[in-house]
Structure 1
Amino acid sequence: MGGPRNVSAGWVRSPRFWVSAVTVLLVAMIVAAAWPTLVDAARSLPLVNPGVMALLVPVQLASFALTGEALFSYLRARGELHGLRPLTAMRMSLEFNFANHMLPSGGAAGITYTSWKLASLGVPAAKGTLAQLARFAVTFLSFCILLLAAAAWLLASGTGTAAVLWSAAGVGALALGATIGGALLLQRRRALHRFAGVVVKVANWGANIVGRPAGVQTESVVRFFDGLHVELREILRDPRALRTPFTLSFLVHACDAGLFWIALAAFGLHADPALVFVAYGLATVTSMVVTTPNGVGVYEVVMIGMLVSGGLPDSLVVAAVTLARAILLLGTIMFGWAFYQHSVARSGRRGP
């Protein structure tokens, strides 16, 4: 009689059990929050061209693969992951995308999870984290370049409204400022050490709130940030490792914005790609600021508002965006959930 009870108690105390349970709860909350969007999307199905809308699936998969390859190509250039097989890279990309978009922490949980996963493949934590930050940096830089090109086209063609052009300027400035600010912080060791102290205080305060002992040590966090600092200095001395990720980031943006151009085309709307890109950019940046999973609710409102302000009919835009977001949300869950759960289940069999 004691054996089964002990097994049950061990199962409940297992971190894997709680990680899986919390993730299931989060996914359920995401679906519940997006349920009105799913219902509206279902109502718009009679208006859609299914052949055109079906293109969302391969383009979304291409976006996942390119995003992962931007990260992996950087790590290979830095001497890591040379034995990673293409199918394994694709699976990990889907897994990382799930963590980045579905865990509600403005991307922080996704970065932490990805660093843990890379550590299980022998990539040091500091190098894995900086690889993601480097990918974000080149992604923001290419985003600013494309946003500038889109705004210039809208201005030259006379089709850009004041709302669209000012939004493009604001989003571009925010993305560029975040990239430059992050790079400057990582170059200043004293500022990093002060930031490490803040991280330790916040982490230990959170541990006290949930009734756990404060176990985060300042020395370990300082060593981690020192590793980031050293990695950045090596990159700045030889930035060739960023060439491929920078090139791939343009393709990632083209795929991600192209998803909504396809959705609009499925409803017979042939929107200006520049307008779609500005709307995609503003919605993406806004969803990064809020902490709702995948930006549910906020993303749709911002994108619809921007497309309508650009002159597109509101009824068809609402139908196209809501249906596209519903399909992409389901695709993110289906393509990433199984691989995420597989990694969590195996976490106890081998050390991360």
Structure 2
Amino acid sequence: MPEEAHRIKRSKWRLVLTSITLLALLILIYGLRDDIRGVIDNLGKVNTWALLLIIPIEFLNYDAYSRFYVHLFRILGSKVRYPDMFKLNLELNFVNHVLPSGGVSGISYFTVRMRAYHVSGAKATLSQIMKLLILFVSYLPLLVVGLLLLALRGHASNFVLIVTSSIITALIIGTFAFVYMIESRTRINSFLTALTRFLNRVVGIFRRNNPETISISGAQMAFNELHDNYKLLKTNWRQLKKPFAFMSIANITEVAAVYAVYVAFGEYVNVGAVILAYAVANFAGLISVLPAGIGVYEALMTGVLVATGIPAELSIPVTLMYRVINMVIQLTPGYYFYQKAVRAGLTVK
């Protein structure tokens, strides 16, 4: 009888989760309806073969992310398979696109899914934090190259210099703040315990009969493990060269995917403009309250491109086409593997 009740409860949970994600996906598609219409109108005006370059570029992007996880978990003492990480990356990308939470939904989903591969929640969480940290730090050399390319063409205006220096400063301060916090077991426990209590208060508004939805003692054990795993990474920091290299490849392929659309339009614009615009749009997209940063992403990317000398009549259709085609390529297999994981049970391979 208890098993039957558990099975029914599990079936209801799957139905609710599937319904929520399907609704979020429909909202995303509805929000992009004008973009999709514009892309369809422009398809006949572009070089199809150049546009198709996005597919192998995106494959290389996912390959880099997958290899990053394989090598990082190896340093942390957990062995994971490349094919599993490739599929999980597609699932993760889908979740991050349809659920607007600045990546929090993705981190939570990744942590739950990694249980299927016998990886603890603390290791999975640290891997996501390290992914973001290394991803941003490895983008710094690209930003410098982009600024030099803009300067060579006379497009390094005061606005461009302010934007670039602001991003670099934010990255450096953010990196040092993270290291300062996680270096101390006391500091990381104090900060994350306070955060857990705050989350419990928020959840308590809706669940008054359960004031401690997230166990404080259980969370503190996870925080201690997170600190221990960080120390392990710090001890083996030389082994982070490969993960850093894979994140650099991921960044390069992201920029290359945008540039491929310009080539499809028959325009060979300054790569520096694309590097800077991509950085600004993605930083803003992290804090957007809308699915996939709808509106915010397009507006900021177009604004920066125009400021660096690329006319709006070119940058707008290119940005929209990149966004729509990129989402179709990523979300279609992502949705398939996500639904497959939900049906099987998220903690099952």
Query: Could you state the TM-score of these two structures normalised by the residue count of structure 2?
Result: 0.92
Give the alignment's Cα RMSD to 1 decimal.
Answer: 2.1
- Within 5 Å, give how 1:14-93 maps onto structure 2: 14-82=12-80, 84=81, 86-93=82-89
- Size of the aligned set, in residue pairs, is 343
- 1:137 pairs, out of 123, 133, 140, with 133
- Tell me the distance in 2 between the aligned counterparts of 1:272 and 1:153: 7
Contact in 1 for aligned 2:76/2:123 (Cα 8 Å): no
Contact in 1 for aligned 2:259/2:271 (Cα 8 Å): yes
- Tell me the distance in 2 between the aligned counterparts of 1:26 and 1:49: 32
- Tell me the distance in 1 between the aligned counterparts of 2:251 and 2:331: 21
Deviation at 1:248, TM superposition (A): 0.8
Please tell me the residue identity of whatever aligns with 1:70.
F
Counterpart for residue 213 of structure 1: 210
- Tell me the distance in 2 between the aligned counterparts of 1:111 and 1:283: 21
- Tell me the distance in 2 between the aligned counterparts of 1:81 and 1:291: 35
Show CA shifts across 1:274-302 (max 9, x none). 11101111111111122322212111111
- 1:322 pairs, out of 320, 323, 327, with 320
- Within 5 Å, give how 1:77-226 maps onto structure 2: 77-82=75-80, 84=81, 86-211=82-207, 213-214=210-211, 215-226=213-224
Please tell me the residue identity of whatever aligns with 1:275.
A
- Tell me the distance in 1 between the aligned counterparts of 2:122 and 2:241: 21
Please tell me the residue identity of whatever aligns with 1:93.
N
- Tell me the distance in 2 between the aligned counterparts of 1:182 and 1:119: 25
- The answer as to 2:283 corresponding to 1:285 is yes
Show CA shifts across 1:222-265 (max 9, x none). 11111111111121122133111100111111110111111111
Show CA shifts across 1:76-110 (max 9, x none). 2322125x2x4333222212222233321100110
The residue matched to 1:249 in structure 2 has which SS? helix
- Within 5 Å, give how 1:307-318 maps onto structure 2: 307-318=305-316
Counterpart for residue 3 of structure 1: none
Q: Runs of at least 4 residues of structure 1 off by over 4 A? A: none
**Which range moves more in the overlay, 209-218 or 286-295?**
209-218
Identity %: 22
Deviation at 1:61, TM superposition (A): 2.2
Deviation at 1:65, TM superposition (A): 2.1
Specify whether residues 97 and 72 from structure 1 end up closer, same or farther in structure 2 by C-alpha distance, changes over 3 A only: farther
- Tell me the distance in 2 between the aligned counterparts of 1:238 and 1:10: 46
Contact in 2 for aligned 1:147/1:168 (Cα 8 Å): yes
- Tell me the distance in 2 between the aligned counterparts of 1:12 and 1:245: 37
Deviation at 1:205, TM superposition (A): 2.0
Contact in 1 for aligned 2:134/2:247 (Cα 8 Å): yes
Deviation at 1:157, TM superposition (A): 4.4
- Tell me the distance in 1 between the aligned counterparts of 2:9 and 2:41: 43
Contact in 2 for aligned 1:140/1:176 (Cα 8 Å): no
Counterpart for residue 260 of structure 2: 262
**Which range moves more in the overlay, 213-222 or 109-118?**
213-222
Please tell me the residue identity of whatever aligns with 1:160.
A
Contact in 1 for aligned 2:68/2:246 (Cα 8 Å): yes
Counterpart for residue 332 of structure 2: 334
- Tell me the distance in 2 between the aligned counterparts of 1:284 and 1:274: 16
Deviation at 1:63, TM superposition (A): 1.1
Unmatched 5+ residue regions in structure 2? none
Deviation at 1:12, TM superposition (A): 8.9
Show CA shifts across 1:128-166 (max 9, x none). 111121122111111112112221332344332222222
Deviation at 1:175, TM superposition (A): 2.2
Contact in 2 for aligned 1:75/1:81 (Cα 8 Å): yes
Query: Could you state the TM-score of these two structures normalised by the residue count of structure 1?
Result: 0.91
Contact in 1 for aligned 2:101/2:287 (Cα 8 Å): no
Contact in 2 for aligned 1:71/1:132 (Cα 8 Å): no
Deviation at 1:45, TM superposition (A): 1.9
Specify whether residues 198 and 143 from structure 1 end up closer, same or farther in structure 2 by C-alpha distance, changes over 3 A only: same
Unmatched 5+ residue regions in structure 1? 1-5
- 1:239 pairs, out of 237, 248, 251, with 237
Contact in 1 for aligned 2:76/2:232 (Cα 8 Å): no
The residue matched to 2:117 in structure 1 has which SS? coil
